Amino acid sequence: MTISHPFLLTMLSVLLVSLISLVGVTLFALHERFIRRSLLLLVGFSAGALLGDVFLHIFPEMLESDTLIISPFLLVLAGMLLSFVIEKGIHWRHCHCSALPRESMHVHPVGIMNLVGDAMHNFIDGMLIASSYLISPSIGIATTLAVALHEIPQEIGDFAVLLFSGFTVRRAALLNLISALVAFLGAFVVFSASSTLPNVAGFLLPVAAGNFLYIAGADLMPELHKETRLSRAFLQLIAILSGLGIMQLLTLLEV
């Protein structure tokens, strides 16, 4: 496998997204009130970016492709169902955790399960980023940005789970980073398979769309509904539109 321009771009993008795993340490060092006030806005921005990537970048690219032997929208549905199955597995880790008193724990299994689930998620993210760059650099950049934006609130939550499980701050940060680096394996798998399966990117891109739609609709949007104040709801709408706007601006890279 020769090093190509898409390969180098993918490696740089995966490294950037992996380093976001350290954002939990940074933001937990800030005042808790600041984190709580800004997190939902960040979630809204992330949801807008994910939806924008799907409808402004991935779907148009899907409709222009005529190399798939199966409907791309069936693959979108497959991506949504796969995300549901993976999330069910990740939620399994929470079994009986809340019933245990904090002071009685050493390293609780929820932390280990969190790392396993997060590693699986990051592996898929690496595959999606690599597949996007195999389609075009602009699709790759848009997908990287969308992945990075939804990683920030997710990594904050993952870091909190590791601390809750009994890990020290330093160990939680290190393990979170190692889990994030699994994304490189996903990227390597895609580039290795692209030589024998040249249309692997065409199959994975609709799956990525389904994954992004599931994250935005099933995970992020419900979080926004927990805030009922009209002023904050308006700010959330602005955040969503900002995420969409960023993705619209990225379409300028395609011309």
The total number of structural domains that make up the chain = 1
For residues 54-80, give the mean pLDDT. Answer: 84
Any domain includes 32: yes
Asked if pLDDT for residue 144 goes beyond 80, the answer is yes
Percent of the chain past pLDDT 70, that is, above it, reads 75
- State the CB neighbour count (10 A cutoff) for residue 5: 9
Is residue 209, in this structure, part of any structural domain at all? yes
Asked if residue 11 belongs to a domain, the reply is no
**Looking at per-residue confidence, does 233 or 152 come out higher?**
233
Distance CA 123, CA 120 (A): 5
State which residues form the domain around 230. Answer: 18-254
The answer to whether 130 and 191 are in contact (CB under 8 A) is yes
Q: Would residue 35 count as lying in a domain? A: yes
Instruction: Decide if pLDDT at 106 tops 80.
Output: no
Confirm whether 9 is domain-assigned: no
State the pLDDT at residue 249: 84
- Please indicate, yes or no, if residue 127 is contained in any of the structural domains: yes
> Which range scores top for mean pLDDT: 57-66, 150-159, 171-180?
171-180
- Please indicate, yes or no, if residue 13 is contained in any of the structural domains: no
8, part of any domain: no
Token reading at 7 = 């390969």
